[in-house]
Chains A and B, each alone.
Chain A
Amino acid sequence: MPLLLATATLPDTITFAIAAVICVVGALGVVLSTHPVHSALMLVMTLFGVAVLFVEENAQFLAVVQVIVYAGAIVVLFLFVIMLLGIDRTEAIAADPLKGQRAVALLLGLLVLAEVILLARGHWPAGAHSTAGTLNQGTTPNVNILGTSVFTTFLLPFELTSALLVIAVVGAVVLARRPRRLGEGAPELVIVDPEDDDPVAAGAGGPDEAAGPEAGGEDEGAVGYREGSRS
């Protein structure tokens, strides 16, 4: 491996080392935490470490987007789902339901690691430049270069991502909607369904609801859904 640490300045080396440690510790924390919330927070740690490395590699815009979109939106979405579903219980991580799964998984992981590190050792084909343009254009900031490329060379993919986002939003709304019952009039159902849910849950799961707010929340969703699929 070409050890280019010698050519790097000391601050750069220290920054890289700290960010690398943060990334790896966060990644290990995601995998090894028994609690999903802890995993999500460890994921934030890794994302911040990667953002630091982005800045270090002169990709300032991507670093900011990484923090805003990943740490700000995606992880918050994860936390929302964890708390909405009430599945924030610790997982029995010590037990291995499928014998040998962990050993095989570790073996495969080490294999992937070895392969990728082998590929990372250099001598990658450079070839000709893509049509996107060069990254270092004198004093032009990174945001300008990236924006110019996105809005000229990659204009069609950029427009397609907007369609993708719209499709994703529609898909999420369709998935998150409660399924309407079959065989009844649709207009009545739309009005009745949301208000009808609470009495059903309260009637069926009365004793469970007294147990606690979390247990009641789970029961409400489960009972409401079962009621819908049965009829």
Chain B
Amino acid sequence: MTVGAAWYLTLAAVIFSIGAVGLLVRRNVLVMFMCVELMLNAANLTFVTFARELDDVGGQVAVFFVLVVAAAEVVVGLGVIVAIFRRRVGATADDIHVLKG
């Protein structure tokens, strides 16, 4: 028998918190995006843990869909980033504070 679910959930909480803090602290847009991926992975780990704990395949199906949505999100997000950085050569989110038309 494997390690108890509480350990997995705690680990997922730690990864999620690191991702959240990174998202708030870092200014490089790409690194912020990676932190979002970290948070998604922590949520996936929670889903799989509960799928095992409650003996329900729904959790794993949810992870499956999260993976698909994450892939689509990364494609569109990186497209936006490329479009922004074609306009201005800067790597921080502070440079994109002007949203005027």
Task: Please give the distance in Å from B74's CB to the nearest CB on chain A.
Answer: 5
Which of chain B's residues have a CB closer than 8 A to the CB of A132?
A: 56-58, 61
Provide the main secondary structure of the chain A interface. helix
Q: List 8 A-B contacts (CB under 8 A).
A: A1-B6, A36-B91, A50-B15, A70-B67, A113-B17, A135-B55, A165-B68, A168-B72
Q: CA of A106 to CA of B69 in the docked complex: distance in angstroms?
A: 28
A101:B82 contact, CB within 8 angstroms: no
- Residue of B with least CB distance to A97: B94
Q: CA of A9 to CA of B73 in the docked complex: distance in angstroms?
A: 39
Which of chain B's residues have a CB closer than 8 A to the CB of A81?
A: 30, 78, 81-82
B22:A31 contact, CB within 8 angstroms: yes
Q: CA of A174 to CA of B80 in the docked complex: distance in angstroms?
A: 10
Interface residues of A in 123-166 (CB under 8 A from B): 124, 126, 129-136, 142, 145-146, 149-150, 153-154, 157, 161, 164-165
Q: A211 contacts the other chain (Cβ, under 8 Å)?
A: no
The range of chain B's interface size is 35 or more
Q: B96 contacts the other chain (Cβ, under 8 Å)?
A: no
Partner of B69, one of A85, A104, A119, A164: A164
Task: Please give the distance in Å from A45's CB to the nearest CB on chain B.
Answer: 11
Interface string of A191-227 (1 = CB under 8 A from B): 0000000000000000000000000001001100110
The verdict on A109 contacting B24 (CB below 8 Å), with A57-B2, A161-B65, A222-B86 known, is yes
Q: CA of A13 to CA of B1 in the docked complex: distance in angstroms?
A: 9
Which of chain A's residues have a CB closer than 8 A to the CB of B33?
A: 78
B residues with CB within 8 A of A: 1-22, 24-28, 30-31, 33-35, 37-38, 41, 44-45, 48-52, 54-58, 60-61, 63-65, 67-76, 78-83, 85-89, 91-92, 94
Count A-side interface residues using an 8 Å CB cutoff: 102
Which of chain A's residues have a CB closer than 8 A to the CB of B69?
A: 161, 164
A23:B60 contact, CB within 8 angstroms: no
The verdict on A13 contacting B3 (CB below 8 Å), with A27-B38, A30-B31, A157-B65 known, is yes
B41:A47 contact, CB within 8 angstroms: yes
- Residue of A with least CB distance to B74: A74
A87:B30 contact, CB within 8 angstroms: yes
Which of chain A's residues have a CB closer than 8 A to the CB of B12?
A: 116, 120
B6:A154 contact, CB within 8 angstroms: no
Partner of A135, one of B51, B83, B89: B51
